Amino acid sequence: MRLKSFYAKTMTEAMQMIREALGEDAIIVATREENGGRSVRVTAAIDRMDDGPAFEIAPKPRTARRPSAGIPQDYLQYDLEEDAEDAINEVLTDTLLRHGFPSDISDNVLSTATLMGMPDPQSALRAALEQTFSFAPLPLKSHKALMLIGAPGAGKTLATAKLAARAVMAGRKAAVISTDTIRAGGVEQLEAFTKLLQIQLKKSRNAKELRAHLETTRDCDMVLIDTGGCNPFDVDDMRGLAGLMDSGAVEPVMVMAAGGDAEESAEMARCFAVLGVQRLLPTRLDIARRMGGLFAAASRSGIAFSEASNTPMVADGIVTLSAQSLSNLLLPPSMRGRPSTTRGAAQTAPNKSIRRTG
């Protein structure tokens, strides 16, 4: 991917410059008014067609800070602060492109980062994420049972085991209920984990049985409910899930695997949000290379980031998400201060920037 920024008096002039420099296949990544609206800055991208640099900035017109008497100052003036700001924006633009952010969300993050005025790309990204997204960590003690829901294969069973392990290690009394009684091996997998934690696994085949189990676990600090995979686009699946949620005091938590298509992830999240989901628990952060789907899901649905899974290990596999941890995930230290020279995020090294805290 080749990035280039263009500066002109009008958008028409900028588009002409883009066509001449990058061709008709160039994609507009971001636009921004500068110099009080008297000029524009447009960042465009195109797949690399040669071995040239993957990232460059078109030369910016410069003039003396104090023009001679009688000679009008040019329409663009740039100082060192603007140069630093441009460099930060270029790094962030490249980062969001690598992760497959939709253009509207990318523009929002970039605009917010610019307004925050931070001195480096990582702190600018952290501040922008903090302002753009919501964060709501899961409690270690709750009067509501946490029901983990999501599409098939999202990692709900393993996430349930990890949350149960965290509660036990924190000295909380935990209970685990599984409604995933149809899928082959679903109950057996979770039961193997609960035995190690010395927690009895309760099984519910329907809403009536779930209601009865919830009554018997009222004295627990944490009640976790594992559910079978639900197709958010299937009316019957969603109706069945809603029936389970009506069994008692339950808070649904959406589990979503990282690395999915941004638009499809966002559509899934909007469907689950209709059921009252307010928290998102991402999984597979250790193997995914593109995180745009998770951010699209959170942004388009209004759901807050909570915890995440970044390892297959049960005892040490849950991390609390924050603007800082997510900025580290998107822009690891090896990528800070310079644009990517790879064609895609799949060529980057494994991401180890999120670590367990607490």
According to DSSP, residue 155 is labeled -
Backbone angles phi, psi at 191, to 5 degrees: -65, -35
Output the pLDDT for position 116: 82
Of the given ranges (74-83, 104-113, 315-324, 338-347), which has the lowest mean pLDDT?
A: 338-347
Output the pLDDT for position 246: 95
| DSSP secondary structure letters along 71-116 | SPPPS----HHHHHHHHHHHHHHHHHHHTT--HHHHHHHHHHHHHH
Residue 35 clears pLDDT 70, i.e. is over it? no
Helix axes 323-330, 121-132, angle to 10 degrees: 130
pLDDT category at 41 given cuts 50, 70, 90 is confident
Q: Tell me: the pLDDT tens digits for 12-34?
A: 888 888 888 888 888 887 777 76
Characterise 171 by phi-psi region: left (phi > 0), alpha (psi -120 to 50), beta (else): left
- Tell me the pLDDT of the chain averaged across its residues: 83
Of the given ranges (116-125, 126-135, 201-210, 224-233), which has the lowest mean pLDDT?
A: 116-125
Q: What does the pLDDT average to over 74-92? A: 64
In percent, how much of the chain has pLDDT > 90? 57
User: Residue 284 half-sphere exposure, CB side, CA atoms within 13 Å?
Assistant: 17
Most confident among 58-67, 185-194, 295-304, 348-357 (mean pLDDT): 295-304
- DSSP three-state, residue 46: strand
CB count in 10 Å sphere of residue 300? 20
Output the pLDDT for position 274: 95
CB count in 10 Å sphere of residue 233? 12
Q: What does the pLDDT average to over 44-69? A: 50
Q: Tell me: the pLDDT tens digits for 182-233?
A: 876 778 889 998 998 999 899 999 999 999 999 999 999 999 999 999 999 9
Which residue matches tokens 């509207």? 104
Output the pLDDT for position 30: 74
Q: What does the pLDDT average to over 1-10? A: 74
Distances (CA, A) of 233 to 33, 266, 293: 41, 12, 17
pLDDT category at 159 given cuts 50, 70, 90 is very high
349 vs 103: CA distance, rounded Å: 25
According to DSSP, residue 135 is labeled B
Q: Cite the DSSP H helix spans in the chain.
A: 11-22, 80-98, 103-116, 121-132, 156-169, 186-196, 207-216, 235-245, 262-273, 292-301, 323-330
Output the pLDDT for position 161: 94
334 vs 340: CA distance, rounded Å: 10
Q: Which tokens is 33 given?
A: 């008014």
Residues in a beta bridge with 28: 44
Listed by start position, the domains of the chain span 1-78, 82-132, 145-322
Output the pLDDT for position 311: 85
Output the pLDDT for position 54: 41
More confident residue, 3 or 227: 227
Architecture of domain 145-322: 3-Layer(aba) Sandwich (3.40)
Residue 306 clears pLDDT 60, i.e. is over it? yes
Q: Tell me: the pLDDT tens digits for 338-354?
A: 444 333 333 344 444 45
Output the pLDDT for position 347: 37
Q: Which amino acid is at 183?
A: R
Output the pLDDT for position 339: 47
Distances (CA, A) of 186 to 33, 174, 310: 54, 20, 21
Long-range contacts of the stretch 44-48 (C-beta < 8 A, 24+): 44/3, 44/4, 44/5, 44/6, 44/18, 45/1, 45/2, 45/3, 45/4, 45/97, 46/1, 46/2, 46/22, 47/1, 47/2, 47/343, 48/1, 48/2, 48/343
Q: Which amino acid is at 52?
A: G
More confident residue, 68 or 148: 148
